[in-house]
Structure 1
Amino acid sequence: MSEKKKSSRSLAGIARIVAIATLISKIFGLVREQAIAWAFGVGAVVNAYAYAYVIPGFLLILLGGINGPFHSALVSVLAKRNKSEAAPIVETVTTLISIVLLLVTVVLVVFAGTFIDILAPGLDGIARASAILQLQIMAPLAVFAGLIGIGFGTLNASNQYWLPSISPLFSSLTVVIGVAVLAWLLGEQINDSRYLQLGGVVLAGGTLAGGLLQWVAQLNAQIQSGMGKLRLRFDWRIPGVGDVMRVMIPASLSSGMLHINVYTDLFFASYIEGAAAAMRYANFIVLTPLGIISNMILVPFMPVFSQLAAPENWQELKFRIRQGLLLTALTMLPLTAIFIASATPIIRIIYERGSFNLKASQMVIPVLMAYGFGMFFYLGRDVLVRVFYALGDGETPFCVSIFNIFLNAGLDYLLIQSFQTPGLVLATVGVNITSMGAFLWILNRRLNGLPLGEWGLILLQLTAITIASTIASWGVNWGWEKLLDSNNLLLLLLQFCLSASVALGVFVLLAMQLKLQEVDIIVSRIQQKLSK
């Protein structure tokens, strides 16, 4: 891309576009999860869907996700090249990836039963049959995932951020329509065990249709921007293709190793009734703000990291790493306080209706608290991984991820015995903490030293502030439940708003005392928005 194109939008401007678009997409995703919870609760339909979606969902996140390896590889390479070079590179990469993923699709269809048995040996016969059928229906998502990921990277490299960030809403929309039609046809019998297969087909079919629509929308924008068409191209020796593959292949393997941890968690979860569904519902709530904020941080920072990869720019790169980590802490840690202290009203407000009853809420609440605890470590690890990608190094994250597979399995085995389902989430948190430590240690050596002591002290202070915010918010929730009825939706909303405001207020007031420039950046932007 030309220098003029690169600088045409500020980091703040890009982050604002991504945040708004991602927020809209996440709202549709929340409606989708509410529709599924209302229709099926934590029963067999959602449990089977959770396992059937593991591999297609893994591929969508791994290959098709914004900030995924396909996206990161294309941005890191195309951001350094003129726009005229982009189309042949994109078309060649698309051809190669599509051929590989078509083979993956065939394997998923043929061996669906084997994959389900490996993932969920604890499923009973009916749920197992439903999960196998759903996996076969969603198998083509393997191809769409790759194409979507290429579209994300290509459009971002051409300075387009709105469509890639908003396009995931298509998947949510098609699932909601499918559930609504099924409810209209079956009425109150929608959660009847006799319709387990039909419910699964609707969820799987809606998910597949959404992936197709997402890709088609991106393809049109890609063609219009001159960044490549849907054509077969086998020019493997084009300059740039090798650069993309050198980042994409190890980055995909690295992210793939990371997602094997998800498989490990679900393997253990298959022996706990409703565990997979509980993890799905809680994870989505956390991923809603996490997805918005991660896109705001990672999307604009990725090309910046790439442009600072040369040794003469390392001082500026270190500053940007600090900025990425502290912005992560300042946005994730107050959410940690809110999710830990207010997990009960959050779950009850979002899900508790229809087939999702109080018992289901009690299953999901501690899982949400565990996910909330790990938010900073999840995003902080992602920030550091993007630094390695920008340096043209996908091998280091891959090696760390291999070690993490064994670490996660060991932690799963140990923690599930004491904490049941939340223990599986805490195991993943432990893996992310270990990854962050390893990445910082390696970058410290590679970049000729990082101010780790200074950064560590700041993060320790922010951790203490988070604990204070959590205690204050928990006190509000405890007092409210003692004085008022907790079964009224309006009162639950007021309870959450008050407790969340206390957590956020305490965090902001105390964080401002640290005099961090990152705090000033966030506060000034909020003030600018409020003054408009």
Structure 2
Amino acid sequence: MQEKKDSPQRGLLRGTSVVGGATLLSRIMGLARDVVFARLTGAGEAADAFFVAFKIPNFFRRLFAEGAFAQAFVPVLAEYRQNGGLAAAKELNDRVAGALGGTLLLVTLFGVLCAPLVTGIFAFGWWWGGNEPAKFAMATDMLRITFPYLMLISLTGFAGAILNSFDRFAIPALTPILLNLVLIAAATVAAGWFDPSVMALAWGVLVAGVAQLLFQIPFLMREGLLPRPKWDWQYPGVRKILRLMAPAIFGVSVTQISLVLDTVLASFLPTGSVTWLYFSDRLTELPLGVFGVAVATVILPNLSRQHAGGDPRRFRHTIDWALRCVTLIALPAAVALFVLAEPLLTSLFQYGNMTARDMQMAAWSLRAYTFGLLAFMLIKVLAPGYFARQDTATPVRFGLIAIASKMILSLLFVVPLHLYFQLGHMGLAMATAGQAAINAWLLYRGLRQGGVYAPEAGWRSFLARLLLANLAMAAVLLGVLHYWPDWNDWPWWQRAWRIGALVAAGGATYLGVLLASGLRPRHFRATS
């Protein structure tokens, strides 16, 4: 395979655009999937059971495909490629494929055979005291079907990490679309063949895992990168990845761990809480997944190469560029989601079995999540600054502090909100936002104190422009909403064009004020 060369500035921008565009398409399909879910399941026992059964392997997906495995594997692969060339990189891929595949097979067998135990851990409130036997049994049955998705999607993540390391970003970014397409088909075509119908979604998850893995294999073959698994735990590269990976699970994936804690605590709250959190989290994940993950995906291999090549100046430039990019997107996304929380949820999900009250409850947790959106995205781009240097111990320490803070914040927020306002799920979202802010601050401070990163010139004027643009956008959105208050009374097509008009008006205002204040694309190219 011929090595690919490009300017660092153009490579970062192009890579981010490719990943962001593909991820945006996937997220749009994901929203369509959730609209179908809302029609099929509503917010009852069956919906809560499926979302727990889906969230468990999905949690591990984020650890492996987007989290700890990629953060440990990509820097080591870059080191082998830098020092030993393509042949050494391929040899590492073969050894990792054997070790990873064998381990995942054992974990999958354990998960399927011990599904009641795993369900009890993630939905402890349904098991404790036997208060929710039907819901617990349904979630356990579905988990036996969905748990093998962990093995399939982790191998898919491994394949994607190889392609990303060689700057082949498009295929891994497009792969998640298959999950959404298969689940939409399961909900619309196959649901009538199952009793309860939600079981069709569980089987859809399994089929989607197979489809995503098979989709990447031809592209690995075309690039000459398809691994030939070799079982060798003593291989130095495998042992190094394992040493980096174990603590990285805590460091980079602390946000995902906190979301699982939300599910555990929500199992003690009224029926519907898990579903309300799911839909509000899905909207928060839209900007996070499209832009935060896109930027993080592109900068990790670049940072790894820059560190391996001994180029600290470009390393600092890359982090600064990434921080500006995510701040530019995260702030308006948070403002828009806060202001438009209920109209967005109503327009997307209030159909079929989903009620107006469900949307109101989900809106409360969505507003709470928005306070942590910037922090969520900062974590995505700050963590690679550690993992590219093969430093996993520091993020572990920060992650443990953040998780401990989440526990304290959960008690402070959930108990009073549940007892006095029946909004315990909102308290969980508030605690998650606070935990993310603490983790992001610790990661940022660590890079500053270690001399790894220092902000480049222009941040004050940049933030002032963003503040002005966000205030203008919020004023426009609130002004239009004053004349469109009754979203529950409109049919879907009226909701659709109105929410589209609001998004367009808000986006145009934001971009217009930024341009009027002097912000230009070259400001970002200069820092990449």
Q: Give the structure-2-normalised TM-score.
A: 0.88
Shift of 1:51: 1.5
Shift of 1:378: 0.4
- Name 1:425's counterpart in structure 2: 429
293-302 vs 274-283, greater mean Cα deviation: 293-302
450-459 vs 406-415, greater mean Cα deviation: 450-459
Alpha-carbon distance between aligned partners in 2 of 1:312 and 1:233, rounded to the nearest angstrom: 33
Question: How many residue pairs get matched?
Answer: 508
- Name 1:52's counterpart in structure 2: 53
Asked if the contact 1:341–1:471 (Cα under 8 Å) also holds between the matched residues in 2, the reply is: no
Equivalent position to 2:411, from 410, 413, 421: 413
Aligned ranges 1:218-257 → 2 under 5 Å: 218-234=216-232, 236-237=234-235, 240-257=237-254
List alignment gaps of at least 5 residues for structure 1. Answer: 187-194, 523-532
Alpha-carbon distance between aligned partners in 1 of 2:473 and 2:459, rounded to the nearest angstrom: 21
Shift of 1:183: 4.5
Q: Secondary structure at the match of 1:79?
A: helix
Asked if the contact 1:35–1:179 (Cα under 8 Å) also holds between the matched residues in 2, the reply is: yes
Shift of 1:508: 2.7
- Name 1:39's counterpart in structure 2: 40
Specify whether residues 321 and 477 from structure 1 end up closer, same or farther in structure 2 by C-alpha distance, changes over 3 A only: same
327-336 vs 440-449, greater mean Cα deviation: 440-449
Asked if the contact 2:24–2:290 (Cα under 8 Å) also holds between the matched residues in 1, the reply is: yes
Shift of 1:42: 0.9
Equivalent position to 1:148, from 148, 156, 159: 156
Specify whether residues 6 and 24 from structure 1 end up closer, same or farther in structure 2 by C-alpha distance, changes over 3 A only: same
Shift of 1:330: 0.7
Aligned ranges 1:94-493 → 2 under 5 Å: 94-123=97-126, 124-185=132-193, 195=195, 198-234=196-232, 236-237=234-235, 240-270=237-267, 271-309=269-307, 313-416=311-414, 417-418=416-417, 419-447=423-451, 450-451=454-455, 455=459, 458-459=462-463, 462-463=466-467, 465-481=469-485, 486-493=489-496
Cα deviations by residue, 1:298-326 (Å, 9 ceiling, x for unpaired): 22222222233269632332222221111
Asked if the contact 2:293–2:380 (Cα under 8 Å) also holds between the matched residues in 1, the reply is: no
- Name 2:129's counterpart in structure 1: none
Cα deviations by residue, 1:62-101 (Å, 9 ceiling, x for unpaired): 1123xx2323333323334122222221121121122222
- Name 2:71's counterpart in structure 1: 72
- Name 1:526's counterpart in structure 2: none
Q: Secondary structure at the match of 2:279?
A: helix
- Name 2:89's counterpart in structure 1: 86
Cα deviations by residue, 1:469-527 (Å, 9 ceiling, x for unpaired): 32431222122227x995233332343233323432333344346645668549xxxxx
Calculate the aligned-residue CA RMSD, in Å: 2.8
Alpha-carbon distance between aligned partners in 2 of 1:177 and 1:383, rounded to the nearest angstrom: 35
Q: Secondary structure at the match of 1:122?
A: helix
25-34 vs 55-64, greater mean Cα deviation: 25-34
101-110 vs 310-319, greater mean Cα deviation: 310-319
Cα deviations by residue, 1:202-258 (Å, 9 ceiling, x for unpaired): 1211101101111122233223322233433427335x4444334333323434544
Q: Residue 27 in 1 paired to residue 25 in 2?
A: no
Q: Secondary structure at the match of 2:125?
A: coil
Alpha-carbon distance between aligned partners in 2 of 1:518 and 1:378, rounded to the nearest angstrom: 24
Alpha-carbon distance between aligned partners in 2 of 1:300 and 1:79, rounded to the nearest angstrom: 13
Alpha-carbon distance between aligned partners in 2 of 1:103 and 1:92, rounded to the nearest angstrom: 17
Asked if the contact 1:63–1:69 (Cα under 8 Å) also holds between the matched residues in 2, the reply is: yes
Give me the identity figure in percent. Answer: 24
Alpha-carbon distance between aligned partners in 1 of 2:151 and 2:337, rounded to the nearest angstrom: 35
Q: Give the structure-1-normalised TM-score.
A: 0.87
Shift of 1:443: 0.8
List alignment gaps of at least 5 residues for structure 2. Answer: 127-131, 418-422
Alpha-carbon distance between aligned partners in 1 of 2:50 and 2:285, rounded to the nearest angstrom: 18
